[in-house]
Amino acid sequence: MTGEAIAPTFIRVADDYDVVIGSGVLDRVAGLLRDGVERVLVVHPPTLPGLAQRVAGSLAAEGYAAELAEVPDAESAKTSSVAASIWAQLGRAGFTRTDAVVGVGGGTVTDLAGFVAATWLRGVQVVQVPTTLLGMVDAAVGGKTGINTDEGKNLVGAFHPPAGVLCDVDVLATLREADLVGGMAEVIKCGFIADPVILDLVDADPAAARRPDNPRLRELIERAIRVKAEVVAVDLKDNAIREILNYGHTFGHAIEQVEGYTWRHGEAVSVGMVYVAELARLAGHLSGPEGEALVARHRQVLESVGLPTTYRGDRWDALRTAMRRDKKSRGSTLRFVVLDGLAQPTRLVGPSDELMRSAYGLVSRG
């Protein structure tokens, strides 16, 4: 992909904004801003100063007053203190309600930038420029923003659709392999809940699916984004069908919290998908040979791209406590997204502790 002239793909989300996917499109940020913007704050992690400066330079060339805000890397960016430091910078620079924020980075940066934009003057524009596979197919699309607290992940946040999302596939060549592999979990998730062609494409050539210079990866990105766009179009605020996008996330988020966010999000979600597949089988949602085969396919597809499918066996009490803080819970009742079959997501409400622990035993090691 890198160096090739590939026409950008435009995916419309709920008639509100476009997701632009292409090669060499990083300088198109200005084209996604809406009327009235004068000042733009480009939020970025310390690992991407060059990309952030390039974005700021392209904005300045279009007449915008652009400045940079460097934030910590990974989950350490998503705190109230970091958000407060950006609010202070916006205040000092005199940002008004018609100005904008641009998030350049992985999912943690786009989550933070979106939250800051949602809360500054009760809402200013944000354009997201995800630079990781995870950010492109999940975090930057859909308008969910948030920060973490000591009690859990993304417990403080807002729904704030962006003015646009710009996915330049060339930047994926700069990722460490582990980060690219981690992002594949969210792509594969979309295959299980909505678009089985994704699974077929990965099965056909797992190595190509994780190579940033292979057109197969761009097709997977576009398919995953289309799944999310179609869901968000009918349920922006997570009141109904949007819950299916959290397939594997209740258990996955619990792993992240118990491990102090030292696990990559995609790695945790990968184990989480195997967990809910086993939970669905035990609860009778996946039965017979077809159900057994679908559970096995979770492990096969995820492992084929290098993702984990097991977790340590001595953390059940901590995981259960973390899951009960999940945003999908209602009161003391846990809710899981499970499958009735391939691309047939549904909800499992209030499974017993015995059932949940039995499923944990099936994904445990050691």
Residue 144, marked binder: yes
pLDDT at residue number 51: 94
pLDDT > 90? residue 251? yes
> Over the stretch 45-103, which tens digit does the pLDDT of each residue have?
999 999 999 999 999 999 999 999 999 988 889 999 999 999 999 999 999 999 999 99
% residues pLDDT > 70 (the chain): 95
Question: What pLDDT band is residue 140 in, cutting at 50, 70 and 90?
Answer: confident
Residue 78, marked binder: yes
Residue 66, marked binder: no
Mean pLDDT taken over the chain: 91
Residue 76, marked binder: yes
Residue 265, marked binder: yes
Superfamily of domain 177-365: Dehydroquinate synthase-like - alpha domain (1.20.1090.10)
pLDDT at residue number 2: 46
**Alpha carbons 82 and 352: distance in angstroms, whole number:** 39
pLDDT at residue number 1: 41
% residues pLDDT > 90 (the chain): 76
Residue 75, marked binder: yes
Residue 292, marked binder: no
| Better pLDDT: 208 or 276 | 276
Residue 189, marked binder: no
pLDDT at residue number 6: 66
Residue 230, marked binder: no
**Alpha carbons 74 and 104: distance in angstroms, whole number:** 13
Name residues whose C-beta falls within 8 Å of residue 35's C-beta, 6 or more positions apart in sequence: none
> Over the stretch 155-179, which tens digit does the pLDDT of each residue have?
899 999 999 999 999 999 988 899 9
Question: What pLDDT band is residue 3 in, cutting at 50, 70 and 90?
Answer: very low
Give the mean pLDDT of 187-205: 97
pLDDT > 80? residue 10? yes
SS3 106: coil
> Over the stretch 289-338, which tens digit does the pLDDT of each residue have?
999 999 999 999 999 999 999 999 999 999 999 998 765 655 568 999 99
Q: What does the block give as tokens for 220?
A: 């997977």
Strands 144-149 vs 17-22: parallel, antiparallel or unpaired: unpaired
Name the residue ranges covered by the structural domains of the chain: 9-174, 177-365
Residue 238, marked binder: no
pLDDT at residue number 233: 80
Topology, domain 9-174: Rossmann fold (3.40.50)
Q: What does the block give as tokens for 8?
A: 């950008």
Query: For every residue of 275-334, which 3-state class applies, written as one string?
Result: HHHHHHHHCCCCCHHHHHHHHHHHHHHHHHCCCCCCEECCCHHHHHHHHCCCCCCECCEC
| Better pLDDT: 87 or 4 | 87
